[in-house]
């Protein structure tokens, strides 16, 4: 059985994100709980093949985003060094 899309669902989802996103000053726990609640409401119980939906990973809040950004920068720099030819 296919659900009919709710015309106001996207509007409500975007309003929630704008109001509660941690980058905009919202509480990370409230944001994660609200996202989970919204995703549960919109998630079908079973996929087309009858098996449970596999795209239901939990939301993880990263407390220190600077650490992740620095690590990503170091990985990018390492890849650039590896791609550069050593013989000139």
H-state helical runs in the chain: 9-20, 28-42, 65-83
pLDDT score at 83: 80
The number of beta carbons lying within 10 Å of the beta carbon of residue 50 is 6
Mean pLDDT by runs of 10 across the 88 residues of the chain is: 65 87 87 83 60 65 77 91 74
* Measured distance between the N- and C-terminal CA atoms of the chain, rounded to whole angstroms: 63
**Residue 1: what pLDDT?**
42
User: What pLDDT, on the 0 to 100 scale, is given for residue 14?
Assistant: 86
């Amino acid at each position: 059985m296919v659900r009919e899309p709710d015309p106001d669902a996207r509007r409500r989802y975007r309003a929630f994100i704008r109001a509660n996103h941690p980058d905009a000053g919202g509480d990370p726990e409230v944001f994660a709980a609200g996202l989970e609640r919204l995703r549960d409401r919109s998630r079908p119980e079973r996929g087309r093949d009858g098996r449970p939906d596999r795209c239901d990973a939990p939301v993880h809040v990263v407390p220190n985003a600077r650490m992740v950004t620095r690590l990503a920068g170091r990985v990018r720099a390492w890849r650039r060094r590896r791609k550069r030819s050593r013989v000139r």
